[in-house]
Amino acid sequence: MNSPRPVPWIRLIASLWLFAAFATVPARAITLELQRRDPVTGAILLQPETVDPRHVGVIAVDVWNHHWCKTATMRVDAIVPRMNKALDAARLLGMTVMLCPSDVVDNYVGYPQREAVFALPRLSVPTVVDVTCPPVPDAGGCACGRERCAGNYGWDGMHPGLRIDAADLMPDTQAEVYAICKKHDLTHLIYVGFHTQVCLLGKPMGLKAMKSAGLNCVLARDMTDAHPGYDPARNFTPDLNTGQVVEHFEKHLAPTISFQAELAKLGKWDPDWVVDPVRVTPWGTPMRPHLFEEPVTVTLTAPLQPGAEIRYTLDGSVPTPASILYSKPILVRDTTRLRVAAFRDGRAVCLESEGAFARMGPVPPAPDVAIGDLKPIRNVGFGHSYGGEVRYSGNTRPPQKDRSNLGQELRINRKTYPQGMGVHAPCELGYEIKPGYRRFVALAGADENLLSISNGSNLAKYPSVVFKVFIDGREAAASPVMRVLSPAWRFDVPLPEGSRMINLVAMDAGDGSREDFADWAHAGFIVRK
């Protein structure tokens, strides 16, 4: 005899009861393998620690969209794909994710992730642990080697590829993080982000501050990068520097984990994921090229893919398992487009990377005839052109003689120039080539007067200008993309016999024209003797 079928409302009650029963089951505890080191010998000490993931917070510090060091900027870019995977898994496990861009956190006012922090109760932060730590290895902060980058505060937000979840929070201070920990009953904090010995250590929401408040703090050694340095002559690389800083943390400050390994144990990390690009040092890119005079030593690494074969090309072609095998640092002598990937058993295990290197020519002589003393036959600036006139945009002006476009000194790469033309890209100046003119010469670059206010805070990442010289409608010379504090590009362009017109173009680099103030310094003509 068949059993009677339950009526729908009985099934509904049973379903609700099962949902309630399972909803109250505590999340499965996870066991982290904490790695410390003996402070004297450096020997690795492993210790398991079991914790409910709902009592764990993950703090991502200073995952910025820019850094004054171009290589440091790209090393952030290199870790963001794996960081996204880890943070997604952390959220699924019930961990609380906090995104902390420190200097620029207030650019996120109005975001619910930031506003929610303001609603938390104000709590006094206790000092539970007296945290002491010997000075951390600091390699100087620039990973570009001999052609060192100069500082500016150009970042204005988090990396655009970093995913922000609706449930994330954006604290900034020790008190804000502490209030989140109390509200969510957090006992452990896992730190990811940049730059380890500066920001993760010393910021108000950083590891040292929260350890002193009694939180169990852990560093994810596979998702951090130190404030780097680079000296290929002694095999000192940013990866080596980061390893030294991580070891220092393990000896004197906090244990570390491999976040990837912990998530893999839980089935939250697919070993077939390809998330790590090959790292290039120094890491020039087409939008922020590495300019050099003397040959530059380029190091390629894949530290999170041990045993992988790094393959590269120098002609702009796509790297394959049959491309040149990387076995030692590459000496780049001329303008080069490097493309690189890593393989294991013929399968790509790293994302492709690109390096852009541009060699500068000799410094040209000063002109005999300055363009500022000539009347242009074409003068088109940043604005609307109508009826032969230009309605200049915003606070821009017509090209200015011997001054920046805004009337200040001409400034390129920390130097001032008494003579030249200050423009805002896009802009074109056209001049008649008179008999006797032999060469056009100039030093061209992004104007740097914006650095005089807060060292370029929130703005120094934006100027990006390409300079071109056209003779009778044909391109005769061009610069790579020029950025704030790039060396001035050196133009020394022969003028063919019979040439009639030269056009000097400053154009945006394809990313918009915001703050694209540009200088043609020491620009003019060498007269035939």
For the cut 90, the answer to whether the pLDDT of residue 312 exceeds it is yes
Q: Each residue of 445-490: pLDDT tens digit?
A: 999 999 999 999 999 999 999 999 999 999 999 999 999 999 999 9
pLDDT of the residue at 26: 42
Residue 97 has pLDDT above 50, yes or no: yes
pLDDT at 17: 41
**How many whole angstroms separate alpha carbon 201 and alpha carbon 102?**
13
pLDDT digits (tens, 9 = 90+) for 198-228: 998 889 999 999 999 999 999 999 999 999 8
Q: How does residue 140 score in pLDDT terms, banded at 50, 70 and 90?
A: confident
Dist. CA 157–CA 173, nearest whole Å: 17
pLDDT in the model for residue 27: 56
What is the token pair recorded at 387? 């009826």
Q: What is the pLDDT of residue 272?
A: 94
Q: Give the C-alpha separation, 38 to 375, whole Å.
A: 73
User: Where do runs of H (alpha helix) occur along 124-165?
Assistant: none
Rounded CA separation 511/463 (Å): 9
pTM: 0.91
* Amino acid at position 215, single letter: L
Q: Does 74 have pLDDT greater than 80?
A: yes
Q: Which amino acid is at 29?
A: A
Choose among 61, 145, 85: nearest CA to 272.
85
Query: Is residue 525's pLDDT more than 80?
Result: yes
What is the C-alpha to C-alpha distance for residues 101 and 285, in angstroms, rounded to an integer? 24
Looking at per-residue confidence, does 12 or 221 come out higher?
Answer: 221
Spell 112-142 as b/e; 16+ CB within 10 A means b.
ebbeebeebeeeebeeeeebebeebbebebb
Q: Which domains, ranges and CATH numbers included, belong to the chain?
A: 28-272 (3.40.50.850), 280-359 (2.60.40), 369-527 (2.60.120.1060)
